[in-house]
Amino acid sequence: PNGGLHVKSDTNRTINTDFTLAEGTGTYTWHAYQRNGADKWRVGGKADDSYLSWYNDASSTHQFALASDGKVGVGTVSPDHNLHVVSAGNAEFEVERTSGAAVFTQAQSALGVTGTSSNHDFGLLTNGSVRMRIDAEGYVGINESSPAHALQIKATRANYASLVLNVDTGSG
């Protein structure tokens, strides 16, 4: 045993892991999960209680953290928002309903992408109602739930134009 409490599995053929609860060193306290005598994951946090982290020994990175203010970090132990995803490659997340739409967001090096990654329309809402829709074929409807053209705009107020284009004719 290399910790204050050491629990080792018996000869159970379905589970062959060691579990070690160990007092951390320095500013961290870790609970180390081992397999075949080597650390695989550590769960613990800083002594100042600023966050709880899941640390991957294989990649030497904090994979997931819960900050003391309730913010969640994926790839960071210092989340700036309620959910903060950081990655050396494209940072991305997806929200999906079982047997329904999947909404995907990705931060690339020079472009932010959001939309559906499933065969479903994507809508933008204001005041709880979808005001603009991009259907699965790529047609865009503004105040139109079933656009039949590349861009279809429906006026929602009487005596107002559906589309106004302003042209700046100033010099320069």
Token pair for 162: 């559906």
Dmax (CA) for the chain in angstroms is 84
Inter-CA distances, 28 with 31, 46, 150, Å: 10, 4, 56
* pTM of the model as a whole: 0.64
- The upper half-sphere exposure of residue 116, i.e. CA atoms within 13 Å in the direction of its Cβ, equals 17
The pLDDT profile of the chain, 172 residues, written as one tens digit per residue, is 455 445 555 543 333 333 333 444 556 677 777 777 666 777 887 767 688 888 888 888 888 999 989 999 999 988 999 999 999 899 998 999 999 999 999 999 999 999 999 999 999 999 989 999 999 999 999 999 999 999 999 888 887 777 777 888 876 6
83-85/72-74 β-pairing: parallel
